[in-house]
């Protein structure tokens, strides 16, 4: 009987061990074939669809959770936008186009589908194991038990253990140990692989940073070489101007000396003529006296006839008369009167209130009613600012054909008062200033050599297609403070300006970006307009633009098209201060370095809003907004940790130090003054685990609710000098 019982137990143990082995083999085959959480989720999703489950509206942002979508693997963020689609979703204030997928928080995926936000929360399957492990980046844990526990029959111990059963238990124990050893080796191998991957990633990141640094150094070197070259050119130009001025001065001195000699010769001739005339006059008087006495019978003396002044050579314009030698002038002669009359004739050639210096004539605020007739071929600059000039007739510059710069600022010049041929003879004119006049149109027939044109503070009402015809050399154009808008500026008006790099259209009436901007444009200033929208085609042709200033307009985060400027590779500076933004706008240019958003109504900085920028944002100004304790998310400054240099968050409503500041390793200037901060933790500004040198140069925390005595000693360890930390005054609690 006992033998039969032992045989039955042995048979039962063998069957149990065989079943456990088959089960492990099936599990291993399932793992090799990819049967895991992913396939399980897929099967769960299929079962849910077969059972006809309906979507659940359980999102906090109006989003819909779908059971079949919850078990899909979390996708990567996708910022691709399908052009032309009109359906979009609004999630937490951010506009998402149709078919866009994003992850607002771990283990939750959201999809924009036909204008509706559909969110999916990943569900984890129930695990029947004791040891569980959750990998980094995964949402669900996995089992790490080496093998399931096998049920074996109990042994009472009353009788000795059979050899085959003992051998069976020994094999089971040895198999478990082997599997544990293999699992341990596999785990160590995976750790080695992960460590190698992390090391490779760090190496790649260091290599990328090194390349960025080399590119930056090369760019700085190129800028330095260009600056040195420009300084050398300016120095050479200054030396050339100095040489020309010296030659002109010597020529003037030679001409003055020659004129002085001619005047002396003329004075001697006049004296000799006067002496001869006086002698002849005495003889004639004696004869006439005798005739008069005989005719009239009384003494009648005729008044003496003044001597005739001989005509001398003409004097040059603007030449000061020289005084005659005292020894050559005798008392009683009329020569001083001659000199005085000639002096008056010379000075009237330059109107009162005008002055000449080298090659520049200045007639500012001289109450001139017209352009003075000058004949100075060497003249280069003419300033007529602040007069009463209304017209510019043809031939006004005939005597000064070599002018390079004319300033007509603050006069009363009308468009109808400018003759079409007025500027035609100026072959070297490069700068023309006509600010503060009454012009309604761009003057016609301007010289092709013109490089700078300023028509600010006028009454410009229209810019026609041919207004800038022939001005291919124009570099700077300013038309601020006029009556221009997108309705009276022709789309092809800027086409002839092939070399224009600097355009100012501030203080006008534009509601959109002007069309037809030249491809050569580098800087555009449109502040103080009525701009409400930036379309996708606004900057299509200005691919080289570097600076855009749009402060004091009517823009908000929804009025900028996603493709308006996100792909620009040269746009580094944007000024959007004093508009109507409530969020930091998305889809900013990838190349952006300098962003100004001061004076808006910004309440939140969305996550990853700067993550796509290359190499990264360096200057961010968010002063005078409405940022509070919930304004900054953990991912708000993602992408700026290695580039941010200056960050201004002053004059807001922050109650604590924003997250992410302690990770900014290149931050030099930080402004947090005039907020509601009450506490500064030890690692809020400086990372205690970072052993790098101190990088903060200036830190401002005044006008908060801080108690300096409660600030941890190491809170400012990354500041180069404690004297640059401003803590006083603080507000009364």
Whether the pLDDT of residue 282 is over 60: the answer is no
Considering the segment(s) 603-733 as one domain, its CATH architecture is Alpha-Beta Horseshoe (3.80)
In degrees, rounded to 5, the angle at the alpha carbon of residue 382 between the alpha carbons of residues 377 and 387 is 135
Neighbours of 373 (CB within 10 A): 13
The Cα 544–Cα 536 span in angstroms is 16
- The region of weakest confidence among 67-81, 177-191, 455-469, 655-669 is 67-81
Q: Do 352-459 and 603-733 have matching folds?
A: yes
Fold of 352-459: 3.80.10
> Is residue 553 within 8 Å of residue 574, measured between CB atoms?
no
Domain boundary assignment for the chain: 2-203, 207-281+307-347, 352-459, 603-733
Cross-strand pairs, 143: 132
> Is residue 150 within 8 Å of residue 118, measured between CB atoms?
no
pLDDT the model gives residue 25: 57
Alpha carbon 201 to chain centroid, angstroms: 32
Rounded mean pLDDT of 510-517? 94
Q: How far is residue 716 from each of residues 35, 666, 724, measured CA to CA in Å? A: 52, 15, 10
Helix (H) or strand (E) holding 142: strand 142-143
pTM (2 decimals)?
Answer: 0.56
> Is residue 492 within 8 Å of residue 516, measured between CB atoms?
yes
pLDDT the model gives residue 339: 34
pLDDT the model gives residue 733: 60
pLDDT the model gives residue 121: 78
Length of the chain equals 733
Q: Between 97 and 58, whose confidence is greater? A: 97
Whether the pLDDT of residue 66 is over 60: the answer is no
pLDDT the model gives residue 138: 73
Q: 83 exposed, middle or buried (CB, 10 Å; 0-12, 13-18, 19+)?
A: exposed
Whether the pLDDT of residue 289 is over 80: the answer is no
Whether the pLDDT of residue 178 is over 90: the answer is no
Whether the pLDDT of residue 303 is over 70: the answer is no
Question: Which is it for the CA torsion 529, 532, 537, 543, positive or negative?
Answer: positive
Q: How far is residue 718 from each of residues 184, 335, 675, measured CA to CA in Å? A: 43, 87, 22
């Amino acid at each position: 009987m006992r033998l039969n019982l032992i045989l039955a137990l042995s048979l039962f143990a063998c069957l149990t061990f065989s079943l456990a082995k088959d089960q492990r083999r099936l599990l291993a085959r399932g793992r090799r074939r990819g049967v895991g959480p992913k396939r399980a989720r897929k099967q769960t999703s299929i079962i849910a669809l077969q059972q006809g489950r309906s979507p659940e509206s359980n999102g906090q942002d109006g989003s819909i959770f779908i059971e079949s979508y919850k078990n899909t693997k979390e996708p990567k963020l996708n910022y691709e936008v399908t052009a032309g689609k009109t359906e979009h979703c609004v999630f937490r204030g951010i506009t998402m186009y149709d078919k866009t997928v994003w992850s607002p928080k771990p283990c939750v995926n959201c999809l924009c589908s036909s204008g509706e936000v559909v969110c999916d929360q990943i569900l984890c399957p129930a695990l029947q194991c004791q040891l569980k492990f959750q990998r980094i980046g995964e949402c669900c844990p996995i089992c790490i038990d080496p093998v399931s526990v096998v049920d074996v029959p109990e042994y009472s111990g009353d009788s000795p253990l059979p050899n085959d059963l003992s051998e069976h238990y020994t094999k089971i124990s040895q198999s478990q140990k082997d599997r544990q050893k293999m699992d341990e080796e596999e785990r160590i191998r995976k750790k080695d692989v992960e460590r190698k991957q992390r090391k490779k990633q760090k190496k790649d990141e260091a290599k990328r940073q090194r390349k960025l640094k080399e590119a930056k150094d090369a760019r700085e070197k190129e800028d330095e070489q260009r600056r040195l070259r420009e300084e050398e050119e300016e120095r050479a130009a200054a030396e050339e101007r100095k040489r020309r001025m010296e030659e002109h001065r010597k020529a003037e001195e030679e001409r003055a000396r020659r004129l002085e000699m001619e005047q002396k010769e003329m004075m001697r001739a006049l004296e000799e003529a006067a002496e001869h005339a006086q002698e002849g006059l005495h003889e004639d008087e004696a004869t006439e006296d005798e005739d008069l006495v005989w005719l009239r019978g009384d003494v009648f003396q005729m008044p003496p006839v003044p001597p005739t002044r001989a005509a001398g050579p003409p004097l040059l314009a603007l030449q000061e008369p020289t005084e005659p030698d005292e020894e050559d002038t005798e008392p009683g002669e009329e020569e001083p009167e001659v000199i005085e009359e000639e002096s008056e004739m010379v000075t009237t050639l330059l109107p009162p209130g005008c002055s000449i210096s080298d090659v520049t004539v200045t007639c500012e605020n001289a109450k001139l009613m017209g352009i003075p007739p000058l004949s100075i071929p060497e003249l280069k600059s003419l300033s007529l600012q602040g007069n009463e000039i209304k017209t510019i007739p043809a031939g006004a510059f005939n005597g000064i054909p070599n002018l390079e710069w004319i300033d007509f600022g603050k006069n009363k010049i009308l468009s109808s008062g400018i003759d079409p041929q007025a500027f035609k003879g100026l072959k070297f004119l490069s700068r023309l200033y006509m600010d503060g006049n009454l012009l309604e149109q761009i003057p016609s027939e301007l010289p092709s050599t013109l490089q700078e044109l300023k028509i600010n503070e006028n009454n410009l009402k229209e810019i026609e297609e041919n207004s800038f015809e022939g001005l291919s050399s124009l570099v700077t154009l300013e038309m601020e403070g006029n009556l221009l808008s997108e309705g009276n500026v022709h789309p092809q008006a800027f086409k002839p300006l092939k070399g224009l790099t600097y355009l100012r259209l501030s203080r006008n009436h534009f509601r959109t970006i002007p069309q037809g901007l030249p491809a050569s444009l580098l800087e555009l200033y449109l502040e103080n307009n009525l701009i409400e929208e930036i379309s996708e085609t606004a900057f299509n042709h200005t691919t080289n633009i570097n600076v855009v200033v749009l402060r004091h307009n009517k823009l908000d985060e929804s009025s900028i098209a996603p493709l308006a400027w996100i792909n620009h590779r040269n746009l580094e500076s944007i000024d959007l201060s004093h508009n109507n933004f409530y969020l930091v706008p998305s889809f900013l240019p990838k190349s952006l370095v300098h962003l100004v958003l001061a004076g808006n109504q910004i309440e939140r900085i969305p996550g990853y809003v700067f993550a796509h920028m290359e190499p990264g944002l360096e200057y961010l100004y968010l002063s005078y907004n409405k940022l509070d304790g919930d304004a900054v998310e953990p991912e708000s400054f993602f992408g700026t940790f290695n580039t941010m240099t200056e960050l201004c968050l002053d004059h807001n409503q922050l109650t604590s130090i924003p997250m992410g500041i302690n990770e900014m390793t290149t931050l030099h200037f930080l402004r947090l003054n005039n907020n509601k901060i009450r506490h500064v933790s030890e690692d809020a500004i400086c990372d205690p685990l970072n052993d790098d040198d101190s990088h903060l140069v200036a830190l401002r925390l005044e006008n908060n609710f801080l108690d300096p005595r409660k600030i941890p000693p190491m809170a400012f360890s990354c500041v180069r000098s404690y004297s640059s930390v401003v803590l006083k005054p603080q507000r009364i609690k």
